[in-house]
Each structure stands twice: as C-alpha cells, then as structure tokens.
Amino acid sequence: MHLKHNGCSKMLSKKLKCGHTEMIRCDTEPTGCSQVVQKELPCGHVKKMRCDMDLEEYVKENGCSIECNGVLECGHKCPKECGECFGNIFHGDCKSKCIKVNICGHECEGRCNLVCPPCNNPCRQNCSHKGKCKLGCGQICEPCLEPCTNNCEHQKCSRLCSEICDRPACDEPCKKKLSCGHDCIGFCGEKCPPVCRVESCVKYRE
C-alpha cells in the first residue's frame, strides 16, 4: 500500500466532489476539475465547458454565442447571437433584404426594417407615340399630350394619351381576320384572342 507523505510525486487517480476523477500528484489536493462537460445556460442552450467553470461567471463574461434564430415580426430569423438578444427576448432591427412587393409589381430593393425606397427598375409604361418610358419605375412618367389612340369605328376616346381612357367598351364583333383566315371571335377594338371558332381549324385552339 502506498502511503501519502510530503514530497511524493507519484500520480494518483483521485475522485473529486463533482464525481469525476483526476490524475494528480500524491502530495497535492485537487483545485478544480478540468473535465469538459455540457452545461445548460439560462437561455436553454447547451455549451461545452470545464466542469469547474462557474456558470454565472461564464454567462457574464461570454454570454451565449449560439445563433439566436428567433423569428422577428417581419418573418425573418434573427441573425444575432443569443447572448446579444438576452435569451431571445430583445431583438435588434432586421438587416435582411425586404420581401415586400411594390405597387408597381417589382420587389423592393431596400432593407427589411426601413421604409421601401422608390423603385429603381425600368418603367413598364409605354404608348404608341413615345414608346417605352425611359425613366425609373419610381419616377413620375413624362405625360404624353397626344390624343388617345384607343379608338374603333364605333367608339372613340376624348382624352389625351396620358389620361385615363373614357372610351366605352364596344359590343360590336371584331371584323379582323386571324392568320388562319377565319373571322376573329373577339369584340371590336380589343385584342384578338388566339382562338378560332371553326372546329376543324387546329391552328388556333386552346
């Protein structure tokens, strides 16, 4: 049997208060446990650390470095670390790209938590006089002062091209011919639908 005495350098396996064992010199007393264990933080996440690490001290110095992943009001996930949000309680502003669709139909190009900026996509407006608008979508188009061309032999618009058309819908049948040679089934003044009324015609079938 080995007896403990001063100056003994023999390494012994000693059981600690935490239940782990450590190989230490015979003539020394354990000062802590160096075993790596998993401990649950106040936020609920689990972190690996030394067994003798004081949990409150660890949280005070390091916080929780695991991604928060809390869901913000906008629907995006919080990109910060859990410790920055005080355990999924206080989140900062969302820095993701905005997912809203502008009234023009284009997607917003701004940041999620900011007011949507004017749309910078090309404008979709065009007319038979000036062609396609060359300004940005968020800018006010230069009004066309030419007479509206949305007319037919039965009805006519009385306004300018840039104004809301006042031509009533025409109920008269269209007199145009389709490329297959048969009569159009649409109404006068409207775009001819790509459908032929002739059953044997296979060129214009839905």
pLDDT at 1 over 70: no
Residues 5-18, mean pLDDT to the nearest whole number: 78
Q: How far is CA 164 from the centre of its chain?
A: 36
- Region 94-100 average pLDDT: 86
The pLDDT > 70 percentage for the chain reads: 93
Q: How many alpha carbons lie under 13 Å from residue 111 in its C-beta half-sphere? A: 5
Three-state DSSP class for residue 74: coil
Q: Where are the domains of the chain?
A: 36-85, 97-140, 143-169, 173-206
Quote the CA–CA distance of 113 and 102 in Å, as a whole number: 15
**If you average pLDDT over every residue of the chain, what do you get?**
84
Nearest to 13 by CA among 22, 3, 1: 22
Single out the residue of 184, 183, 186, 187 nearest to residue 169, CA to CA.
Answer: 187
pLDDT over threshold 80, residue 4: no
Choose among 24, 23, 25, 18: nearest CA to 39: 18
Residue 88 confidence class, pLDDT cut points 50, 70, 90: low
* Rounded Cα–Cα distance for residues 18 and 67 (Å): 30
pLDDT tens-place string over residues 120-172: 899 988 888 888 888 888 888 889 999 999 888 899 999 999 999 999 988 89
Res 70 pLDDT > 70: yes
User: Tens digits of per-residue pLDDT, 172-193?
Assistant: 999 999 888 899 999 998 889 8
